[in-house]
Amino acid sequence: MGAVGEVAPRSGKRKGKKRRKMARVGIRMDMTPMVDVAFLLLTFFMLTTVFSAPQTMEINLPPKDVKVEVAEKNLFTLRVTGDGSIFWNLGTEPPQKVEFKDLRNLLVERNAANPRLINLIKVDRKAKYHNMVDILDELQIANVGRFSLAPMLEADVKEVEKVL
């Protein structure tokens, strides 16, 4: 709260006209209420802010000792090379190169044609991490629920090199 108090009159000699002596009024402002309001506003905005929940993808891992047999006609393989190039093949067909911008349409088309299709993503160890994450994002956007991740083997590298 503000407080008003009187201060002693000015002293000093002036030549000439006599002036009426005025007292200087002292004002003292109590800043406590303003600080209280500032902290109340701060806590209000902190508590009412919507925090974004982390986005996660649920992945089910099979047991280590179980082998799963998949028919070749139901296996769609995506291979990502070290330079970020993407190759795909269905079953035993030779790999074909696909641009990242066309990948979503390819995934939607192939999975609509065969609902039992399993997508196998093989990423080279030299590839960037964001390449794999981008492909997983494309799988989720295309509503592909069945996919598997595997490392790219030497046989896969040789198969891709045949195309190049």
Q: Domain 72-163: which topology?
A: Nucleotidyltransferase; domain 5 (3.30.420)
How much is the mean pLDDT over the chain? 83
Higher per-residue confidence, 144 vs 67:
144
Calculate mean pLDDT across residues 62-82. Answer: 84
Percent of the chain surpassing pLDDT 70: 85
With bands split at pLDDT 50, 70 and 90, how would you rate the model's confidence at 102?
very high
With bands split at pLDDT 50, 70 and 90, how would you rate the model's confidence at 80?
very high
pLDDT, one tens digit per residue, over 18-43 is 666 676 778 888 888 999 999 999 99
Percent of the chain surpassing pLDDT 90: 28
SS (HEC) of the chain: CEEEEECCCCCCCCCCCCCCCCCCEEEEECCHHHHHHHHHHHHHHHHHCCCCCCCCCCCCCCCCCCCCCCCHHHEEEEEECCCCCEEEEECCCCCEEECHHHHHHHHHHHHHHCCCCEEEEEECCCCCHHHHHHHHHHHHHCCCCCEEEEECCHHHHHHHHHHC
Higher per-residue confidence, 56 vs 2:
56
75, pLDDT greater than 80: yes
Note the pLDDT of residue 41: 94
Instruction: For residues 139 and 146, give the distance between their C-alpha atoms in angstroms, rounded to a whole number.
Output: 9
